[in-house]
Amino acid sequence: MRDSLHKLVEVCELREPSVEEFLAALQSSGWLKHIKSIVDTSAFIATTVGDEGVSVLVQCSDGGDIAAQVCSLASLLLDPFYRTPTGDAAVSVRFPVQRAVLVSSP
C-alpha cells in the first residue's frame, strides 16, 4: 500500500497531464485496488454483523492501519444515523478531510 501511495503522490505531482495520462498513471499506481479492497471488506463486515448478527474479528497482517480504516467505515455503514444529512455533517466535523501539501523539488 505504501508503494501505491508514493505512486499516487507522483501522479498528483504531474504537471498538466492530459486526462488519459492522469487516468493511466492512477490505474498503474494500484491505489484504487487498495481503496476497493477497503470498501469491499467494510461492506462484508457490515453485512455480516448487521444482517447476519455474527461477530467479527478484524486484524491487519502487515502492521498498517487498514484494520482501523475498515472498522471505521463498517461502523458508519452499520449506523443509519450517518445516512442522513445530519449524520453526514457529523462525519464531516468528526473526521475532517486533511489536505496534504505536496512539495516538489525545483
Q: What is the pTM of this model?
A: 0.75
Q: How far apart are the first and last CA of the chain?
A: 27
Degrees (nearest 5) of the Cα angle 103, 22, 64?
60
Active-site position among 60, 68, 89, 90: 60
- The predicted structure's pLDDT at residue 102: 45
d(CA 67, CA 43) in angstroms, rounded, equals 13
Write out the DSSP string of 13-48.
T-SS--HHHHHHHHHHHTHHHHHHHHHHHHHHHHII
Q: Render each residue's pLDDT in the chain as its tens digit; 106 residues.
A: 788 888 988 888 888 889 999 999 999 999 999 999 999 999 999 999 999 999 999 887 766 678 888 998 999 999 999 889 998 888 877 766 654 444 444 4
Instruction: Quote the cell numbers at residue 56.
Output: 467479527
Chain-centre distance for alpha carbon 92: 15
71 noted as active-site residue: no
